[in-house]
């Protein structure tokens, strides 16, 4: 089973939604975690956006990337364009991608669009790892 790390600057919105989708859509096929260059909190707007489609991410927590070891993962996905800021050990995993999605925390009205972009990319990632 492949281990996937989703990373964003603060692990509050995009990476949290990606973790939620991956846990739901990839259950039994991938193991997933999310983190940020710094930890913060799960954005209530991200929780609401996922609630709107029936996925509950309230139990997820915001974690710092420094709490994890790249040796424990096969895949690292940056969602915010922060990939260049990651330590090299994360960028040299079997798969590294930087999705560079818009930040809905800056514009809450785009949460539904970004949520759907995250869902599509997570679905494609799960298919790629199958």
Taking residues 15-32, report their average pLDDT: 97
Note the pLDDT of residue 84: 83
> For the segment 96-123, what is each residue's pLDDT rounded down to a tens digit?
999 999 999 989 999 999 999 999 999 9
Walk me through the domains of the chain, giving residue ranges and CATH numbers.
2-129 (3.40.50.2300)
Please list the active-site residues: 8, 80
> For the segment 70-100, what is each residue's pLDDT rounded down to a tens digit?
999 999 999 998 888 899 999 999 999 999 9
DSSP of the chain: -EEEEEEESSSSSHHHHHHHHHHHHTTTTEEEEEEESS-----HHHHHHHHTTT---TT----BGGGS-GGG-SEEEESSSGGGGS-HHHHTSSEEEE-----TTT-GGGHHHHHHHHHHHHHHHHHHH-
């Amino acid at each position: 089973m492949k281990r996937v790390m989703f990373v964003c600057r603060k692990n509050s919105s995009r990476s949290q939604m990606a973790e939620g989708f991956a846990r739901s859509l990839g259950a039994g096929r991938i193991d997933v975690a999310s983190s940020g260059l710094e930890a913060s909190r799960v954005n209530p707007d991200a929780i609401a956006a996922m609630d709107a489609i029936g996925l509950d991410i309230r139990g997820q927590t915001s974690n710092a990337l420094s709490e994890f070891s790249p040796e424990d993962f096969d895949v690292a996905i940056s969602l915010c364009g922060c990939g260049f800021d990651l330590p090299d050990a994360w960028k040299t995993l079997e798969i590294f991608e930087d999705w560079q999605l818009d930040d809905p925390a800056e514009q809450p009205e785009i949460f539904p669009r970004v949520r759907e972009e995250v869902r599509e990319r997570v679905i494609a990632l799960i298919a790629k790892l199958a």
